[in-house]
Amino acid sequence: MSTAAGLITVPVVLGERSYEVVVGPGARHLLAEVLPADARRAAVVTQTGIGVEVDPGVPHDRFEVPDGEQAKSLAQVERLCRGFAAAGLSRRDVVIAVGGGVVTDLAGFAAACFHRGVRYVNVATSLLAQVDAAVGGKTGVNLPEGKNLVGSFWQPTAVLCDTDVLATLPPREWASGRGEMAKYACLLGPAGSGGGAGADLLSLPLPDQVARCVATKAAVVAGDEREGAGRMVLNYGHTLAHALEAAAFDGSRGWDLRHGEAVAVGLVFAAELARRLGRIDDTRVAHHRQVVTAFDLSGDLPGPVSAAELVDFMARDKKAHHDLTFVLDGPRGIEAVPGVARDDVLATLIDMGAADER
């Protein structure tokens, strides 16, 4: 990482696909500087409620997408791509995503599809996007059968994380971002004597918190860009999280669960499952709960749900290869563990309060 003029620059080293993530107050004002030099036109993708204006320095068209996970659909990808075509966007132009994780996931995937791939820049406006979603090149949309089941690896040309724009985030959006930060605290491991990595990360100024998470992710992505094995650790806590989100897609649950809040539950579940499998002890489970609590999050299931239903959603997870695969803590640290027995997963969920319908 490098620091200049109050901004922190974190490189994502991927050969010819390398780029920089700029973190700090006012970072969004660098947009015109980080655009590809030969881009003549831009498509700015955002949401009505974002309220963050950007100046790409080239002629541009604005495209608004709906709020919430419902925006991450193939229908919205088609709508965006047709809009890009009508606006005359060429393969040498650029898509600019201005928003949180929903916008960066959706706009990045539309950019990957249009003309078989146009360049894009992320201007991340939520804590969740800044610490995780906008970095690393994983783009995608949801299906009724599961979250992020359709997507691609398509790296941005730059990412701008302006911490000034976080001042207006609602409390629940802060909570969502902190769920991903809790994941990174767990990945960084226990540190110091005041409560572990969660406490250490939270002691930093906000731009440094964001940059620490980005640097952790960048190091993992540089070693495994397309999730062959090592990058799976970035999905820590996400297998249950995605199952909870997928279970609520039809709106019948009455849950108001943000992604990061679901990740917090997933982190506790992953620790409980690892203990059941004999991979970690009570102390490590307690550490996970302490980290989640330090970020003012809950590790409890959000409401009544069937353990068997959640396991069925987990079996569709993109890490799985016709089995149940989880990212779990253990003697060698956090790693992907394939072939976990369904009964062990069910028993762990039931112990956490899910309904037993066996």
Both 163 and 175 in a single domain?
no
Q: Which of 60, 212, 259, 275 is catalytic?
A: 259
* Cα–Cα distances in angstroms (integers) from residue 78 to residues 82, 114, 166, in the given order: 6, 9, 30
What is the average per-residue pLDDT within 184-204?
Answer: 69
Where does the pLDDT of residue 192 fall: very low under 50, low under 70, confident under 90, or very high at 90 and above? very low
Both 159 and 179 in a single domain?
no
Given a contact cutoff of 8 angstroms between Cβ atoms, the answer to whether 142 and 249 are in contact is yes
29 is a catalytic site residue: no
217 is a catalytic site residue: yes
CA distance 168 to 40: 32
138 is a catalytic site residue: yes
Q: For residue 356, is it within any domain?
A: no
Q: Which of 227, 245, 261, 272 is catalytic?
A: 227
Both 235 and 297 in a single domain?
yes
**What's the domain range around 44?**
2-168
What is the average per-residue pLDDT within 320-334?
Answer: 87
28 is a catalytic site residue: no
Q: For residue 271, is it within any domain?
A: yes
* Cα–Cα distances in angstroms (integers) from residue 217 to residues 54, 77, 297, in the given order: 26, 26, 22
What is the average per-residue pLDDT within 351-356?
Answer: 94
Both 181 and 272 in a single domain?
yes
322 is a catalytic site residue: no
Both 141 and 187 in a single domain?
no
Q: Which of 16, 53, 116, 321 is catalytic?
A: 116
Pairing of strands 60-64, 94-99: unpaired
Which of 168, 194, 221 lies at the terminal end of a domain, its last residue?
168
Residue 148, phi then psi, degrees to nearest 5: 60, 35
Number of domains in the chain: 2
DSSP 228: S
Q: CA end-to-end span of the chain, whole Å?
A: 51
Q: Which of 119, 183, 217, 287 is catalytic?
A: 217
Listed in order, strand segments (DSSP E) in the chain are 2-4, 7-12, 19-24, 42-46, 60-64, 94-99, 119-124, 138-143, 146-153, 158-162, 326-328, 335-337
Its pTM surpasses 0.75: yes
259 is a catalytic site residue: yes
For 36-52, write each residue's pLDDT tens digit: 999 999 999 999 989 89
Kindly report the CATH number assigned to the domain that includes residue 244.
1.20.1090.10
180 is a catalytic site residue: yes
Which of 168, 199, 218 lies at the terminal end of a domain, its last residue?
168
78 is a catalytic site residue: no
Both 95 and 183 in a single domain?
no
Write down the pLDDT at residue 194: 42
Q: For residue 99, is it within any domain?
A: yes
CA distance 168 to 157: 27
Tokens of 352: 């956490």
Both 155 and 109 in a single domain?
yes
Both 180 and 157 in a single domain?
no
147 is a catalytic site residue: no
Q: Which of 122, 142, 148, 235 is catalytic?
A: 235
Write down the pLDDT at residue 188: 86
Q: Which of 69, 119, 148, 180 is catalytic?
A: 180
Q: For residue 357, is it within any domain?
A: no
Both 50 and 115 in a single domain?
yes
SS3 146: strand
Tell which phi-psi region holds residue 51, choosing left (phi > 0), alpha (psi between -120 and 50) or beta. Answer: left
For 79-119, write each residue's pLDDT tens digit: 999 999 999 999 999 999 999 999 999 999 999 999 999 99
Q: For residue 358, is it within any domain?
A: no
Taking 90 as the threshold, does the pLDDT of residue 251 lie above it? Answer: no
Both 195 and 112 in a single domain?
no
